Amino acid sequence: MATSAHQDMLSLFTATCNATPDAPFLIAADGAVLTYAAAHARAAQLAHAFRAAGVQAGDRVAVQVEKSQTALLTWLAALQAGAVYLPLNTGYTTGELRYFLGDAAPALVLCRPEDEAGLAALCANLSVPALLTLDADGTAGSLVNAAAGQPTTFASTPAAPDGLAAILYTSGTTGRSKGAMLSHANLASNALTLREYWSFTAQDRLLHALPIYHTHGLFVATNTIIASGAAMIFLHRFDADALVRLMPQASVLMGVPTFYSRLLAHAGFTRELAAGMRLFVSGSAPLSAETHREFSALTGHAILERYGMTETNMNTSNPYEGLRKPGSVGFPLPGVDLRIADSETAAVLPQGEIGVIEVKGPNVFGGYWQMPEKTREEFRADGFFITGDLGFIDGEGYVHIVGRAKDLIIAGGLNIYPAEVEAALDEIPGISESAVIGVPHADLGECVVAVVKATDPALEQSAVLSALTDRLARFKQPRAVVFVDELPRNAMGKVQKAQLRETHAGLFVAKKV
């Protein structure tokens, strides 16, 4: 197992490969095994393909492909090539990609074969020099062809701990999306901390059903497994039937709350099935206390809820040993300082009072790509990052999150920012203004509801949803459109979203759609 002396993920990966080359790294749903040595060799070939396409150290590599073993290995290939990894949600449309590629100016874009024609035109327009493809299985495409026959070793330059490893875009409620710059040390420190805090060993087998364009599946899961020398049972997507079938071979599951609500609804998910598991982790969205209690009653396992952000990796976690409080995200992780501050005065608040959560530690990112002013706004003078999440610390030291200061919606573990959806709605003829809110959803945790004021009395929900099809990724599109004569506002003219959420809170509570 790699030691804490390593301050970057490539060193951790290489150390594990050297120590246990024949140990399994990725296990397919059919049982096929890719060892650490084989993964290292394939990643080296992919790194050579990147270099042949013109990627140099420090260049950005943008990736929007389906989840596969090869897709995951492009992260390790980027590390070997000294490139900066830029994963992009597979739901983004070409129109949405224009901003990300224009902002990050990657040297290479990796896309699905079916998207190649549209992206070739976009890349030409944006002067992106190289475009490669990878199919859904990870077995075909121009990247696979370019990697075939390449050397299985790559002469990598050791990464500087504070050097840039990845850029992950995280939107705000207004303005442009922001590229969070994560260093090699940010990622390695968090992987090593989680390995110890969650008691991972080389014997662990993680059921991996998360997407890999998101920090949860790409960094929390993958990097912690690498740091532990453990293995992942690697599924292309979440499938409750597959999880139930494969759980006897696993020891850990990392998921979003939707995973657990769907497992509870599955007839094959029993106390006996979960008996061989040592840990169930939930994150990316709030886990309801009800789901926590139901799961515990059925399985005898208390789900371990933790709290992280794209900009910070993991900040807090309920304990591995000890009480895992329903509704709490636990304690600050070792090395992480966390405080609750008044959002207006920045004064640190006493225990029990609600304020904005601020964090500082080796896990916290260095700032936003090409946005120095925004970076300065989000950090206090003493280095604490202002998360924008509202919470408090209880009498036993557990952190509780009570809301999101910026009206962020989290559906199925994916972040949705109302302002982006509202901008798309307001472009639709017949809509004069809109307010987008998240309401409770039995399966997704939250879902998007659009409350609109229409100038066209004949406008119907179906027409609104149809107009958004090509403007927004599917996960951002509203599940319902509510028509109103006026949006509720306060004396200052601000739309009262809290009132709208309360009014429409029951829309999807009883439905699993």
Residue 262 lies in a domain: yes
- The identity of residue 492, as a single letter, is M
> Does 403 or 496 have the greater pLDDT score?
496
Query: Is the pLDDT confidence value at 495 over 90?
Result: no
CATH of the domain at 367: 3.40.50.12780
Q: Could you tell me whether strands 84-87 and 304-309 are parallel, antiparallel, or unpaired per DSSP bridges? A: unpaired
Q: How much is the average pLDDT of 178-206?
A: 98
For residues 121 and 347, give the distance between their C-alpha atoms in angstroms, rounded to a whole number. Answer: 51
Confidence of residue 171 (pLDDT cuts 50, 70, 90): low
Query: Is the pLDDT confidence value at 512 over 90?
Result: no
Domain count of the fold of the chain: 3
170 shares its domain with 156: yes
Confidence of residue 174 (pLDDT cuts 50, 70, 90): very low
Least confident of 229-243, 288-302, 444-458, 488-502: 488-502
Q: How much is the average pLDDT of 315-321?
A: 98
245 shares its domain with 393: yes
- pLDDT value at residue 3: 47
Residue 224 lies in a domain: no
For residues 180 and 100, give the distance between their C-alpha atoms in angstroms, rounded to a whole number. Answer: 12
- pLDDT value at residue 419: 75
Q: How much is the average pLDDT of 120-138?
A: 98
146 three-class SS: helix
> Does 268 or 170 have the greater pLDDT score?
268
Q: Calculate what percentage of the chain has a pLDDT beyond 90.
A: 80
CATH of the domain at 416: 3.30.300.30
Residue 196 lies in a domain: no
- pLDDT value at residue 175: 55
339 shares its domain with 482: no
Structural domain of 456: 409-503
- pLDDT value at residue 257: 87
- pLDDT value at residue 5: 60
Q: Which residues pair with 317 in a beta bridge?
A: 306, 331
- pLDDT value at residue 418: 81
97 shares its domain with 167: yes
364 shares its domain with 439: no
Return the half-sphere exposure (C-beta side, CA atoms, 13 A cut-off) of residue 89. Answer: 19
Quick one: CA dihedral 318, 219, 285, 259, positive or negative? Answer: negative
User: Cβ of 292: how many Cβ atoms within 10 Å?
Assistant: 21
Q: What is the mean pLDDT of the chain?
A: 93
Model's pTM, two decimal places? 0.85
260 shares its domain with 400: yes
167 shares its domain with 304: no
